[in-house]
Amino acid sequence: MSHAESVPSNKVTAGTQARRRRSRGPARYSALDIFRRGVTNSDWPRSFRQHDLAKSYDVVIIGAGVHGLACAYYLAAHHGITNVAVLDKSYMGGGGSGRNTAIIRSNYLTPEGVRFYDRSVVLYQNLAADLNYNVMFSQRGHLTLAHTDASLRTMNWRAEVNKLQGINSSVIDAAEVGRIVKYLDVSDRPRYPILGALYHPPGGIIRHDAVNWGYARAADHLGVQIHQQTEVLGIETAGGKVTGVRTNRGAISASIVVNCTAGWATTISDMVGVKMPLITHPLQAAVTEPVKVFLPSVIVSGSLHVYVSQTDRGELVFGASVDPYPSYSMRGSLEFTESVASHILELIPSIGSLKVLRQWAGLCDMTPDYSPIMGVTPVAGFLVDVGWGTYGFKAGPVSGEAMAALVATGRVPEIISAFDLARFADGRLVGEKGAASVGH
Amino acid sequence: MILIDCPYCGPRNSTEFRHAGEAGRKREVTTNDPAVWRRYLYQQDNPLGWVRENWFHTTGCRQFLCAERNTQTNEIRWVAPAGSPGPDGASNNGGAR
Ligand SMILES: Cc1cc2nc3c(=O)[nH]c(=O)nc-3n(C[C@H](O)[C@H](O)[C@H](O)COP(=O)(O)OP(=O)(O)OC[C@H]3O[C@@H](n4cnc5c(N)ncnc54)[C@H](O)[C@@H]3O)c2cc1C
Ligand SMILES: [Zn+2]
């Protein structure tokens, strides 16, 4: 693969540099450090630095969300490639990565999907230690409710696929759902009574901002440069190969450019004439005032178009499916709040007096099959890690790891090989709609 | 909320409508080349800015419309029955059905 030839071959030097930087790096976060700074009243070091834009980098990553940051981190940590710039037109973590509802799970519908997302669960389990950053991963269990025979059938299908891949996932009946979540109405009174659920104990939620900040800080320590307020305006190519990018802060030469811009992905791919089957839809979420923790697991109802979890702070976090038309606007709507409120009250009538504190929206790059698009494109050196739709936060670690390996070796890792761009022309879709349209 | 000024019913909330994709996508009925059909099925332009698109007025007149909307602001600057010539004279404004 031609783009790989341009990856620096002086891995050893790069690796040594990285180690040197790490040893010089800022204080490790620890209980002792909190105590020391408490009594000495000293400031914490900045968790990542600002730099002038260099004239050239080995790798330019567009988009400082979890995908761009994770890719940069693994490039440096696993492959010693540290001459890397992550560019963001806005602020780090200001896209979907700072707006999502932070659900992590691996109980998908296809074997390719299940294997892929499960690798991410494993990486997330060790992430706090790897990054020296408390990401608050809480594997509290994930319930996808079934209100119809058809959805119960899909749940059974998913459970069997999951079990074959070694995932803890099974279908339980309504009574057991009621034992796990006491406040759920499991009677036959509601218009759509709960018939059962797909139960996935390893699923849960995480502190999404901490994941972004943790990757940014760790990548920065290894020598990666993160440039906020740096908008890519164009991508230069010569002879079918990427040669650099144009930004509002000047031109950069680079032979590898990775598109990690999620909702904005087609605006970047269009710059090199790579058409992508993505449509950008807003997705909204809302959060209530905090109350005493009573909800033990994440609850998703596809039929009622709603899901809910409770943060450790006690707020209920609600979400739904995407807004029903394409848009790059991130304004919330009253329709969303009304719909979420009425549906959630069918599930948990006792929260009727809770106030919604705020609502927001983020952009989702939807693919036809609800699976992502990762890997090479017809333009050499232009790589994509997009198509994250409503479900991409959980995939940050695994796709960062795999994309870094692709950049470093020029070979597509097996774990992402089913998710290539060419699958749409070839008719090899990886259909995950049944597992990803409401429960992200 | 987006207000769509239906040429038949007047201004209505977009929740009354179903978004029906970008305008002017055509089935190539004279070919059975899978690549062509897959492009038709999966590929749209997804522009950031002005787009010409079709809407179906589900709970109103049940007619297809064509509109020009800015995807960044959701401003709509033109609505007409599907297939009408656009403000620029372009005629290819029917739906992909
Ligand atoms: C409300 C909501 C709830 C969600 N819930 C979940 C969930 O529970 N679980 C889950 O797994 N996923 C969830 N998602 C999806 C998830 O948030 C995204 O898939 C994921 O964050 C995408 O990460 P990313 O790094 O690819 O992109 P983003 O975090 O969106 O980052 C893209 C970045 O690219 C930058 N950019 C764009 N254009 C340019 C340019 N021209 N130049 C430079 N930079 C540019 C943007 O400023 C942005 O910061 C949810 C999304 C939303 C909106
Ligand atoms: Zn009408």
Tell me the whole-structure pTM to 2 decimals: 0.94
**Rounded mean pLDDT of chain B?**
92
Q: Does B19 reside within a domain?
A: yes
Q: Could you give the C-alpha distances from A287 to A218, A282, A300, A311, A337, in angstroms and in order?
A: 30, 17, 15, 10, 10
A32-61 tens-digit pLDDT: 988 998 999 888 888 899 999 999 999 999
At residue B95, the pLDDT reads 57
DSSP letter (8 states) at residue A25: S
The reported pLDDT for the residue numbered A436 is 86
List residues bridging with A85 in a β-sheet.
Answer: A60, A225
Chain B residue whose CA is closest to A423? B38
pLDDT of residue A15: 44
For the CA of A282, the nearest atom of ligand 1: 53
Boundaries of domain holding B53: 3-27+38-81
pLDDT digits (tens, 9 = 90+) for B36-74: 999 999 999 999 999 999 999 999 999 999 999 999 999
B58 to chain A, any CB pair closer than 8 A? The answer is no
- In chain B, the number of structural domains is 1
Residue B58 maps to a domain: yes
Domain annotation covers residue B96: no
Below-50 pLDDT ranges, chain A: 1-24
Instruction: List the CATH number of the domain containing B44.
Output: 3.30.2270.10
The verdict on residue B11 lying in a domain is: yes
Please report whether residue B33 resides in a domain.
no
Identify whether the C-beta of residue A224 lies closer than 8 Å to the C-beta of residue A230: no
Percentage of residues of chain A with pLDDT beyond 90: 87
Q: Tell me the domains of chain A and their CATH numbers.
A: 138-202+280-366 (3.30.9.10)
**Count of A–B CB contacts within 8 Å?**
49
What residues pair up with A364 in beta bridges, in sequence order?
A: A281
Q: Do A328 and B43 touch (CB under 8 A)?
A: no
Pick the residue whose CA is nearest to atom 9 on ligand 1.
Answer: A103
Residue B96 has pLDDT above 50, yes or no: no
- B-chain residues near A267 (CB < 8 A): 48
Q: How many residues are recorded in chain B?
A: 97
ipTM, 2 dp: 0.95
Does B86 reside within a domain?
no
Q: For residue B4, how far is its CA from the centre of ligand 2 (angstroms)?
A: 9
Q: Confirm whether B91 is domain-assigned.
A: no
Beta strand segments in A119-228, E: 142-146, 170-173, 196-200, 204-205, 225-227
